[in-house]
Chain A
Amino acid sequence: MEMLISLIIGLLTAVGVFLVLRGRTFPVVLGLTVLSYAVNLFIFSAGRLVIDGAAVLNSGLNTPDPIPQALVLTAIVIGFAMTAFAIILAIRARADLGNDHVDGRLQTDGEKSK
């Protein structure tokens, strides 16, 4: 299971980094979202992975660490708010600058100049 989780986190991070490096705001926002998924999974697994563990209240032998779960909850909420803000900002940039490129201008070597 460790292998699977780490592969998923790695894949999500790779996809996220690739998208963040794109030139338009929409893929960048998507990339940031994917990155935050990756990081949430990562923090979650920082408390060690346990199969068939007891829930917190039942004080069994295999109690998982509750702190990473609390951290992930906070990180999800913050990530959610930040994504919302980034989208609104991207829309505003599209309106203000006339295009959705992150630098605010289209590449001149493309099919469309200026």
Chain B
Amino acid sequence: MSHLITLPIFIPLIVAIFQLFPFFEKQIERQRFLSIAGASLTVFVSVLLVMNAANGQVTLYALGNWDAPYGIQLMADRLSSLMVLLTSILLLAALIYASAGDDKTGRYFYPLMMFQAMGINGAFLTTDIFNLFVFFEILLIASYSLLIHGGGKHKTSAAVHYVMLNLVGSVIFLFALGIIYGTLGTLNMAHMAMRVRELSPDQAQLAQIGGLMLLSVFALKAAMLPLQFWLPRTYASAAGPVVALFAIMTKVGVYSILRIHGLVFGDHAGTLQDLGQDWIWVLSLLTLVIATLGVLSSPSLKRLAAHLVILSVGTLLIAVSFGTERSIAAALYYAAHSTFAGAALFLIGDIVAEQRVRSFDRIVAGRALAQPFAIGILFFVVAITLIGMPPMSGFIGKLLVMQSIDSNAHLIWAWPLLLISSLASIVAFSRSGSTLFWRTTGKSDGTNASARRKFVAVWLLVLAAPLMSIFAGPITEYTEATAQQLTQFEKDPTQIMGKGVIR
């Protein structure tokens, strides 16, 4: 099964194309079946990939049999496989949720979701930086259309900002690629890492500009501080299942920082050693501050979820900025947990908005929910997870991140901010929870109960919290091995070059 690695890209692609054919195009039931089947298959394939990677095997796949650095090479190491698995599970949950009726509010919902998943998976699997750009564009153009799925004023005006910002981001990405190709003469990440060590000083200066421009693009995707303003409005206005899949998009940015700035501009990069690391450290702290304020001031449940996404990005980037094995391992655990919990909270917000009809998910007294008990349990579990209280995965994730900070100078800044952000989350969750579930007027007649499929989808995501906590041992072993693997690649990039090792 040497072609296994291509399947997380090809399955969504083929499913999406088939859905545009007449047999499926107007038949929503057939589309639902095909998409969920495709997503399940992708989950299965990514589990296989993770199992392969867990044995320490690094799968390299030269597309069209053109060896790197001339051809594009896909790579499934521990990190990529883990991220692909996260995406696939998220996709499956989002599709199950959407099949309860949200897919009918606009056209081409399923093909777009599939294209988006294809773009995200591709971005995780490729080792070619220009190919990364192409996959970014695939996931972005799908996300542009998905964002306005369902229509409405808010979506359109949020989409205008989102699209314009990301188009400017793409332009900066291309400028950075031009500089990097001009100085390093290659686009393969491992080859870049080799070349960057032998740069002359004047070339190094140019490469530094390129590297920092790349960092700013990834920061835009990850919603790091000065570039996070687009996120709350965009995420709060999008349809529920769409935004559940968007929950992984900020992680694509963080992943790219980890992959490229860890490998190419890492500890062995000569004059460009640890490029941008100080920036990430300071900005991640400031991201935490602004996200904490955002969490406290959120007027609706989806806005709260969006600010919690920024909060998780801040926490992640603190761990990433140290770049030690321990902190990267902690970051990966935290990334997995926060993706699931964040997506679950968006879906819960969507269910609440559906059942309260007029007051939507705004945190104000309103009509009673039709299924307060079923939603309440989900809300409670997700709240505990996102706050970071035991026994859920959020507690372990936050603990790992805090433990991984080993210097006192850093500790003084990071610990208080992390703990205060948790406190702010407790305040925000108790305020929103008590308002939404208890301060209600009248009783619901139960007519606007949500479909059972929606709860199945949310449970699929929510169950990750206790499971990740129970199986924290094996998972942290995996993430620690991942971090070790990344440091090895950094020491000797030739091992991920495939056959065509050329200086």
Contact = CB atoms under 8 A, between A and B. Distances in A.
Interface string B112-144: 000000000000000000100010010001001
Interface string B407-424: 000000000000000000
Interface string B147-166: 01001110011011101100
A82 B173 CA distance: 14
A6 B179 CA distance: 13
Nearest to B136: A78
Contacts of A85: 141, 144-145, 163
B357 interface: no
B141 A28 contact: no
B167 interface: yes
Contacts of B145: 85
Interface in A24-49: 25, 28, 32, 35-36, 38-40, 42-43, 45-48
Interface in B160-208: 160-161, 163-164, 167-168, 170-171, 174-175, 177-179, 181-182, 187
Contacts of A97: 153, 156-157
A111 interface: no
Among B130, B151, B163, max chain A CB count under 10 A is at: B163
Interface in A45-75: 45-48, 67-68, 71, 74-75
A90 to B, nearest CB: 7
B177 A71 contact: yes
A32 B174 contact: no
Contacts of A104: 153, 156-157, 160
A82 B159 contact: no
A94 to B, nearest CB: 10
Among A68, A75, A97, max chain B CB count under 10 A is at: A75
A106 interface: no
Nearest to A100: B160
A16 B164 CA distance: 13
B181 A71 contact: yes
Contact of A82 (B130, B167, B182): B167
B68 to A, nearest CB: 13
Interface string B301-319: 0000000000000000000
B178 A20 contact: no
A42 B178 contact: yes
A89 B179 contact: no
A25 B160 contact: yes
Contacts of A86: 163-164, 167
A46 B182 contact: yes
Contacts of A28: 164
Nearest to A17: B168
Contacts of B179: 46
A38 B164 CA distance: 17
Given A92-B156, A97-B153, A67 B181 contact: yes
B153 A32 contact: no
A83 to B, nearest CB: 8
Contact of A32 (B152, B168, B178): B168
Nearest to B145: A85
Contacts of A1: none
A68 B174 contact: no
B171 to A, nearest CB: 5
18 contacts: A32-B164, A35-B168, A36-B171, A39-B175, A43-B177, A46-B178, A46-B179, A67-B187, A78-B170, A82-B137, A82-B170, A85-B141, A85-B144, A86-B164, A93-B159, A102-B160, A104-B157, A104-B160
Q: Ordered nearest first, which 10 A-B pairs have the shortest CB separation?
A: A104-B157, A46-B182, A43-B178, A46-B178, A39-B174, A96-B156, A42-B178, A35-B171, A46-B181, A78-B137
Given A43-B181, A102-B164, 12 more contacts: A20-B168, A32-B164, A43-B174, A68-B181, A71-B130, A85-B141, A93-B156, A93-B157, A93-B159, A96-B151, A102-B160, A104-B157
Interface of B: 130, 134, 137, 141, 144-145, 148, 151-153, 156-157, 159-161, 163-164, 167-168, 170-171, 174-175, 177-179, 181-182, 187
